[in-house]
Amino acid sequence: MSGEAPASAGRDARAVEDAAMGAMYQRFPVTVERGEGARVWDSSGREYLDFMGGYGVALVGHRNARVTEAIREQAGRIVTVHGSLYSNVRAAFLERLVSLAPRGLECAHLNNSGAEAVEAAIKFARKFTRRPRIVAMRGSYHGKSMGALSLTFSPKYRRPFEPLVEGVEFVPFGDAGAAREAITDDVGMVIVEPIQGESGIHVAPDGFLRGVREACDERGAVLAFDEIQAGLGRTGRMWACDHDGVAPDILCLAKGIAGGVPMGVTLARAEIVASMSRGEHSSTFGGNALSCAAGSATLEALTADGLVGNAAAVGRELHDGLARLARSHPSIREVRGRGLMVGIELRFDVREIIMGGIERGVLLLYSGRNTLRLLPPLVITRGDVARVLGALDGLLSEEEARRGIA
């Protein structure tokens, strides 16, 4: 009946979600009600500094003013325009995105998530090269749909769903010689994360991306970079591959590209997209007007509001502070990353640190069992960095004392 409250009204959100959604997510005891910038508030009004950032989705900050206004304005006009019709708001987004893209990437397929962006890359490379094999990296993570999962290295994700897409070979991340050896004449695509996120924030060593680029050029293989987590200013430059001066043939994007509204993009060279015929790949929701309006506002925030530069400057403060912590805390094995994409490898499981962070009003993320991952919004300040460093200092001291680490 109209006006009736939802069945879950008045019930605890945690109980409802746990019952309805199964056990597919690692859950933490915070029920988020609202957010602004780099902060969120729970249902009791308690504030948290958000260094989890929705796994990197809150790129330009929660409730970013540009994105919020763009969504409000677009929702008042029209929400969806299918790709079979033209849209000025979609054209504006595409024009701006292509202008910022790495050199040579002039075309785009708009979809809805990182996994979908990778799925499109697989099909584009297969159709363009007519070659069946793919080379991916050990430690890689590209998503959990069947094609993207086939390029993801971790057995814990792969094993329950095998057999997966055939013809995928994994080589050591950072070993250009091994990659060159694996890129034979039947390889259609090589896919690399310039910074591996899920396996612990591992940055490609100097020369690796260029070596893979050269090997792909020699063999006629398509080189795809997955910057779903590392792109769009996260590392202090617009694209993670900019640090190495190497451009791919395909670039996969998602997470924060539309300020929190679902969107994925597969950027590619024009001749690759031209190999696809009408109807061979499409997306009902991809490129909808609401996402494109939010995407344009996100790109404006990144550029006009100086968020990429802020990621570089505040990122340096964060890395310097973590280096100081590493010198005083024997539990820290290594600090890795670039800009505001940071991994802190510890000598023990990070769960207690994450739970302790929640008690101190700081949301932290994990990357494997023993690595803390920091993916804060690019709007964070030096004061925010000081607060999270102070929290980590106290949490590590407590855990080291409890474990007898000196």
Instruction: Select from 304, 325, 346 the last residue of a domain.
Output: 304
Mean pLDDT over 20-38 rounds to 94
Q: Is 122 domain-assigned?
A: yes
Q: Is 184 domain-assigned?
A: yes
The residues near 279 (Cβ < 8 Å, ≥ 6 apart) are none
CATH of the domain at 250: 3.40.640.10
Q: For the chain, how many structural domains are there in total? A: 2
* Angle formed at CA 261 by CA 260 and CA 267, multiple of 5 degrees: 95
Shared domain for 288 and 346, answered yes or no, is no
- 337 burial (CB, 10 Å; 0-12 / 13-18 / 19+) is buried
pLDDT score recorded for residue 6: 47
* pLDDT one-digit tens code per residue, 274-311: 999 999 999 999 999 999 999 999 999 999 999 999 99
Q: Which residues form the domain of 94?
A: 66-304
Helix axes 307-328, 382-403, angle to 10 degrees: 30
Residue 342's H or E segment, with its range, is strand 341-346
In the numeric block, which tokens belong to residue 187?
């390889």
Shared domain for 171 and 266, answered yes or no, is yes
Shared domain for 132 and 221, answered yes or no, is yes
Within its chain, how far is the Cα of 314 from the centroid?
19
pLDDT score recorded for residue 11: 65
pLDDT score recorded for residue 12: 87
Shared domain for 119 and 201, answered yes or no, is yes
Confidence of residue 82 (pLDDT cuts 50, 70, 90): very high
In the numeric block, which tokens belong to residue 232?
């769009």
The region of weakest confidence among 14-23, 80-89, 166-175, 258-267 is 14-23
